[in-house]
């Protein structure tokens, strides 16, 4: 069985980025600052929609905590949450998510307060969507 080659994975991601995108808006330190600023109890963002470079569909995953952040990647968490910052094509802070299979269970998130924090910590490529607030790492 072939072992996962981290350097090869990073080279593949770099090639995808160079071939697909004409604009880059984020760096490792900027993503780290973004996630750290939103890890506060007053807004309690727990889930996001994540679109990664090289993946067809975005998926709902947990919002990283400060202790999950490394210099070049998110290292811990639930679901599919080990990824390089540079792999984030975009993420969306979603207004509402479904944490379980219970039909009536939904969790609402305070996107307005999150947007206020984001606007205070730097310049980000952000747009409102019907589902929430999208933050871009790259655009074509």
Tell me the pLDDT tens digit for each residue of 82-95. Answer: 789 999 999 999 99
Residue 99's region, left for phi above 0, alpha for psi from -120 to 50, else beta, is alpha
Pairing of strands 126-129, 132-136: antiparallel
Confidence of residue 96 (pLDDT cuts 50, 70, 90): very high
Cα atoms found within 13 Å of the Cα of residue 8, Cβ hemisphere only: 4
φ, ψ of residue 116 to 5 degrees: the values are: -60, -45
Query: What's the confidence (pLDDT) of residue 78?
Result: 53
Helices then strands, each counted (H, E), the chain: 3, 11
Tell me the pLDDT tens digit for each residue of 45-81. Answer: 999 999 999 899 999 998 999 998 988 888 765 555 6
Quote the CA–CA distance of 42 and 127 in Å, as a whole number.
22
């Amino acid at each position: 069985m072939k072992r996962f080659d981290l350097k090869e994975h990073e080279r593949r991601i770099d090639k995808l980025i160079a071939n697909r995108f004409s604009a880059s808006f984020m760096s490792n330190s900027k993503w780290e600052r973004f996630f750290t600023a939103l890890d506060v109890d007053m807004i309690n963002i727990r889930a996001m929609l994540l679109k990664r470079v090289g993946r067809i569909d975005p998926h709902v995953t947990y919002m990283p905590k400060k202790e999950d952040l490394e210099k070049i990647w998110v290292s811990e968490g639930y679901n599919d949450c080990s990824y390089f910052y540079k792999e984030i094509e975009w993420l969306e802070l979603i207004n509402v998510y479904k944490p379980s299979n219970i039909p009536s269970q939904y969790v609402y998130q305070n996107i307005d307060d999150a947007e206020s924090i984001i606007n205070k910590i730097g310049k980000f490529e952000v747009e409102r969507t019907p589902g929430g607030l999208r933050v871009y790492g790259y655009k074509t």
